[in-house]
């Protein structure tokens, strides 16, 4: 099943002719697993862990395991509409859990295994989760929280070592046949909490139809996926929209294998060996991971990579990484833009268009995205405003969990306001300036952090960088940069001055960072986005008496 003709050559023509056809009945489990039983023995998942242990699983395995586990969950009292948390890394159990939950008509609640106890408690409590499927490394944390969570009736341990494995014990007890609930396309399928870059996380409730709504962008950002021999991989956590909806579900949808790597933290050399060993052709690699790969001195000569397409999203990719990607991978990285609430809606397809480095790209077929003012009016070319998506779209979420007012506040004149500031150029490309809260106002200028951060990365001493506005009596705000240095460089006033001057020369006198602070690491969300809210809070604390 393809949405886009792979022989097409004109991006804008594809957009103008495309129309959605969403069936009334739709279940994600059927879409990505059940309908592939005609080729049941084909590999669906390659698995490897940090110790080098390997396994592979077919589509027949996914169906059998998820049928059994759905029966086991139903025996525990889980039914349609119940929220079931999944606190697992990239493992086969993660996939089986999602499929089983969807077959029941329940709602999967993916939670990052890196979340601390407070983050887990907040989401489990807010969602009213009935059950949680938990990796052994987090099992004790969640069991200790259970007495305080009145809705959480069942905690299922997975890979708990000497304590056993409740997941597989339950699965083996489940009957080997299950009749999947015929859910509607608009029925809720998944509850994903926003990463909370600007405030407390909110639960975005996503419908089954969204799985189809992602696919025009997926096909094009992966340069007409699938092709014979395609193998997919992403380092993105499957608990995040990017890992789950932009990688795992699409790869399975097209009947192609995905590599699951349970490897702990991101090790650039290890993941290059992984991509080499499994002949990975397509990948979603967030900008933070790309920057870590960029630090490898001999990536191209050291590894025999088969990549034909790479998509990147989550933070601005920027011109510097685009140029590096062409040298390192012999391809043009396709930047993509979307949000948990409204995913995979803008991007590039280097197979048939020439991306503008630094631009997010154009709206993918089936999605209407533009720049609007406060009243919902569409802005002219070159005018900055809020990036917004037209609400009549299959990827649009159903609303924020238990927060109808927050949902209403995001919509103006049938536009979903994303909170991102940008503009459209004369060729229809969209450009990201920054989050509304991140835009810096200095001496009458409105300055987005993205362009400055991209310029900072061009200095050889800079591994990572983030920019905020620091309060200033004269200018209102000044640009302040937080810099993580590359290996072999040491912080000094001279280096700070050199970095400042490099930005001033590349951009302009009003955009260069008037302050540079060297920092060991940037505060990140579990999805790899810089938490500028933490950097602003750090700045406020430092200004307090006694600091």
Indicate if the pLDDT at residue 178 is higher than 70.
yes
Helix axes 449-457, 493-506, angle to 10 degrees: 120
Q: Are 448 and 439 in contact (CB under 8 A)?
A: yes
Dig out the tokens for 450 from the structure. 């993205």
Q: Are 94 and 238 in contact (CB under 8 A)?
A: yes
Q: What is the pLDDT of residue 509?
A: 72
| Alpha-carbon distances of 180 from 1, 63, 70, 95, 390, rounded to whole Å | 21, 11, 9, 16, 32
Cα 501-504-510 angle, rounded to 5 deg: 135
Of 48-57, 365-374, 386-395, 446-455, which range is least confident? 446-455
DSSP H helices, 105-240, are 117-127, 136-145, 166-173, 210-213, 215-221
Closest by CA to 456, choosing from 487, 500, 489, is 500
Mean pLDDT of 476-488: 90
Mean pLDDT of 475-482: 86
Q: What is the pLDDT of residue 476?
A: 72
User: What length is written for the chain?
Assistant: 547
* Residue 265: half-sphere exposure toward Cβ, Cα within 13 Å: 2
The domains of the chain are located at 60-207, 442-543
CATH for 442-543 is: 3.30.300.30
Q: Are 387 and 339 in contact (CB under 8 A)?
A: no
b or e along 348-367 (b: 16 or more beta carbons within 10 Å of the residue's beta carbon)? bbbbbbebbbbbbbbbbbbb
Cα 345-349-350 angle, rounded to 5 deg: 155
Contacts of 162 (CB under 8 A, 6+ apart): none
Q: Are 499 and 479 in contact (CB under 8 A)?
A: no
The 3-state DSSP class for residue 300 equals helix
Contacts of 436 (CB under 8 A, 6+ apart): 386, 419, 420, 421
Reported confidence tier of residue 543, pLDDT bands at 50, 70, 90: low
Predicted TM-score (pTM) of this structure: 0.84
> Would you tell me how many other CB atoms lie within 10 Å of the CB of residue 462?
23
Rounded distance between C-alpha atoms, residue 479 and residue 540, angstroms: 15
Span 377-428, pLDDT tens digits: 999 999 999 999 999 999 999 999 999 999 999 999 999 999 888 999 999 9
Span 220-263, pLDDT tens digits: 999 999 999 999 999 999 999 999 999 999 999 999 999 999 98
Rounded distance between C-alpha atoms, residue 165 and residue 163, angstroms: 7
Contacts of 173 (CB under 8 A, 6+ apart): 72, 75
Q: What is the pLDDT of residue 537?
A: 81
Indicate if the pLDDT at residue 545 is higher than 70.
no
Rounded distance between C-alpha atoms, residue 143 and residue 152, angstroms: 10
> Would you tell me how many other CB atoms lie within 10 Å of the CB of residue 101?
29
Q: Are 305 and 273 in contact (CB under 8 A)?
A: no
The 3-state DSSP class for residue 232 equals strand
The 3-state DSSP class for residue 191 equals strand
Beta-bridged to residue 241, according to DSSP, are none
Mean pLDDT of 443-447: 62
Rounded distance between C-alpha atoms, residue 380 and residue 372, angstroms: 9
Q: What is the pLDDT of residue 350?
A: 97
| Alpha-carbon distances of 237 from 240, 362, 460, rounded to whole Å | 6, 26, 29
Reported confidence tier of residue 118, pLDDT bands at 50, 70, 90: confident
CATH for 60-207 is: 3.40.50.980
* Residue 381: half-sphere exposure toward Cβ, Cα within 13 Å: 5
Span 304-341, pLDDT tens digits: 999 999 999 977 788 889 999 999 999 999 999 999 99
Helices (H) and strands (E) in the chain, counts: 19, 26
Span 76-102, pLDDT tens digits: 999 999 999 999 999 999 999 999 999
Q: What is the pLDDT of residue 343?
A: 96
Span 121-157, pLDDT tens digits: 989 999 999 999 999 999 999 999 999 999 999 999 9
CB-based contacts of 400-403 (< 8 A; 24+ apart in sequence): 400/202, 400/203, 400/204, 400/205, 401/126, 401/127, 401/191, 401/202, 401/203, 401/204, 401/205, 402/126, 402/203, 403/202, 403/203
Q: What is the pLDDT of residue 318?
A: 83
């Amino acid at each position: 099943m393809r949405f886009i003709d792979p022989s097409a050559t004109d991006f804008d023509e594809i957009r103008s002719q495309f129309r959605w056809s969403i069936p009334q009945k739709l279940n994600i489990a059927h879409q990505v697993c059940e309908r592939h039983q005609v080729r049941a023995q084909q590999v669906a998942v390659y698995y490897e862990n940090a110790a080098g242990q390997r396994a592979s699983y077919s589509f027949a395995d996914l169906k059998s395991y998820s049928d059994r586990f759905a029966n086991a969950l139903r025996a525990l009292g889980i039914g349609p509409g119940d929220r079931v948390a999944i606190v697992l890394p990239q493992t086969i159990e993660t996939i089986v859990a999602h499929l089983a939950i969807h077959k029941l008509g329940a709602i999967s609640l993916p939670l990052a295994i890196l979340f601390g106890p407070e983050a887990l408690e907040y989401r489990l409590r807010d969602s009213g989760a009935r059950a949680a499927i938990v990796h052994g490394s987090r099992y004790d944390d969640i069991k200790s929280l259970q007495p305080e969570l009145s809705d959480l009736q069942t905690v299922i341990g997975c890979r708990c070592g000497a304590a056993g494995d409740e997941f597989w014990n339950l699965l083996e007890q489940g009957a080997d046949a299950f009749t999947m609930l015929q859910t509607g396309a608009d029925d809720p399928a998944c509850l994903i909490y926003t990463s909370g870059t600007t405030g407390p996380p909110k639960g975005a409730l996503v419908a089954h139809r969204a799985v189809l709504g992602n696919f025009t962008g997926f096909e094009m950002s992966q340069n007409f996926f699938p092709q014979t021999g395609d193998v997919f991989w992403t380092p993105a956590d499957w608990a995040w929209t990017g890992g789950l909806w932009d990688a795992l579900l699409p790869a399975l949808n097209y009947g192609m294998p995905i590599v699951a790597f349970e490897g702990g933290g991101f090790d650039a050399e290890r993941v290059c060996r992984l991509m080499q060993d499994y002949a990975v052709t397509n990948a979603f690699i967030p900008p933070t991971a790309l920057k870590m790969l960029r630090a490898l001195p001999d990536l191209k000569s050291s590894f025999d990579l088969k990549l034909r397409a790479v998509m990147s999203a989550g933070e601005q990719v920027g011109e510097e990484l685009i140029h590096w990607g062409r040298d390192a991978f012999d391809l043009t990285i396709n930047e993509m833009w979307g949000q948990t609430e409204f995913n995979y809606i803008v991007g590039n397809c280097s197979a048939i268009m020439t991306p503008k480095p630094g631009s997010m790209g154009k709206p993918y077929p089936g999605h209407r995205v533009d720049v609007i003012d406060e009243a919902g009016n569409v802005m002219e070319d070159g005018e900055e405003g809020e990036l917004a998506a037209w609400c009549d779209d299959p990827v649009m979420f159903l609303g924020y969990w238990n927060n109808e007012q927050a949902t209403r506040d995001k919509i103006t004149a049938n536009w979903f306001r994303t909170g991102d500031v940008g503009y459209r150029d004369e060729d229809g490309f969209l450009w990201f300036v920054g989050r509304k809260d991140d835009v810096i106002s200095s001496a009458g200028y409105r300055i987005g952090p993205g362009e400055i951060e991209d310029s900072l990365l061009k200095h050889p001493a800079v591994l990572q960088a983030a920019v905020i506005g620091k309060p200033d009596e004269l200018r209102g705000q000044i640009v302040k940069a937080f810099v993580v240095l590359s290996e072999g460089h040491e912080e000094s006033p001279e280096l700070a001055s050199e970095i400042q001057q490099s930005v001033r020369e590349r951009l302009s006198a009003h955009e260069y960072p008037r302050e540079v602070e060297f920092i060991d690491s940037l505060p990140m969300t579990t999805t790899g986005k810089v938490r500028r809210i933490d950097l602003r809070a750090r700045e406020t604390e430092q200004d307090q008496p006694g600091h």
